[in-house]
């Protein structure tokens, strides 16, 4: 399971606003538990659409695009 995931979030296509965000282990576990499945295994893959849904619910904004910059184990 990753300790942290660094992402770049593009919010809309019109004004090209973006944010940098770091998801830490407790957030990753919460995302997996609430949006994906019941149990997190050592080798867990989360679809980018699940990550978009989680970011939407956390920030109350719809991300247009998400880029995963780094994953630290």
pLDDT for residue 39: 55
**What integer pLDDT is reported at residue 42 of this predicted model?**
54
Are 11 and 63 in contact, with CB atoms under 8 Å apart? Answer: yes
What confidence score (pLDDT) does residue 41 get? 57
For 43-51, the CB contacts below 8 A with 24+ separation are 44/1, 51/7
2-43 confidence digits (pLDDT tens) = 889 999 999 987 677 899 999 998 988 888 888 766 555 555
pLDDT of residue 23: 93
Domain boundaries, the chain: 7-72
pLDDT for the residue numbered 9 = 94
Between 54 and 12, the higher pLDDT residue: 54
Taking the C-alpha atoms of residue 47 and residue 3, their distance in angstroms, rounded to an integer, is 18
The alpha helices in the chain, defined as continuous H runs, are: 25-31, 48-59
């Amino acid at each position: 399971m990753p300790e942290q995931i660094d992402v770049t979030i593009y919010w809309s296509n019109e004004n090209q606003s973006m944010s940098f965000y770091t998801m830490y282990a407790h957030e990753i576990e919460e995302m997996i538990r609430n949006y994906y499945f019941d149990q997190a295994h050592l080798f867990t893959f989360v679809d980018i659409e699940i990550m978009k849904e989680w970011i939407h619910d956390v920030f109350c904004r719809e991300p247009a695009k998400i880029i995963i910059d780094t994953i630290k184990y």
